[in-house]
Amino acid sequence: MQVELVSPERRLASYDDAKAVRIPGADGDMTAMADHAPTITSLRPGVLTIETASGEESYAVTGGFAEIGAGVSVLAERALPVSEVSQETFDGWVAEATEAQTNAPDDAIESAAKLVADMVALGGEIGLNAK
């Protein structure tokens, strides 16, 4: 199956031979495989993993959308290969999420707090700790 992963900065991945894509969906993790039912889902901060015949590639994503059809197209707000996410980069992501929570209107505080919690959990998944 074909998989595309792009962020506003660049195209991060393009595969024609993916077996599966593990997606950190906002409503729960999901795995898309060939012949998956057409779906659009929003992403939460997490690790998106693309499985191919030659192995797996994992990417840290901070949000965005995934469209599943004949293939999978992922438009991430921010995404980097997990191996490229430094502690400094991760700290910046957490600081931005924390600032958004601090400045959130009353009716958005709960979702802003979830964003911070998801961001911290992303760090734990890739071996980094929030300060």
Same-domain pairing of 96 and 119: yes
Same-domain pairing of 50 and 10: yes
pLDDT for residue 47: 98
Same-domain pairing of 23 and 75: yes
Same-domain pairing of 108 and 68: no
Same-domain pairing of 117 and 72: no
Angle at 48 between CA 99 and CA 79, to 5 degrees: 50
Domain count along the chain: 2
Same-domain pairing of 114 and 98: yes
Look at residue 131 and tell me if it is in a domain.
no
Same-domain pairing of 77 and 42: yes
Strand locations in 17-68 (E):
18-25, 28-33, 39-43, 46-52, 55-61, 64-68
Same-domain pairing of 73 and 19: yes
pLDDT per position as a tens digit, 81-110: 999 999 999 999 999 999 999 999 989 989
- 16: domain CATH number? 2.60.15.10
Please, what is the angle between helix 87-102 and helix 109-126, to 10°? 170
pLDDT at 131 over 80: no
Same-domain pairing of 77 and 89: no
pLDDT for residue 103: 92
Residues with Cβ within 8 Å of residue 3, at least 6 apart in sequence: 13, 14, 15, 18, 21, 50, 71, 72, 73, 74
Q: Are 42 and 65 in contact (CB under 8 A)?
A: yes
Q: Which residue has the tokens 């595969």?
A: 15
pLDDT for residue 46: 97
Domain range for 113 is: 85-126
User: How much is the average pLDDT of 42-68?
Assistant: 96
What whole-number distance in Å separates Cα of residue 117 and Cα of residue 98? Answer: 10
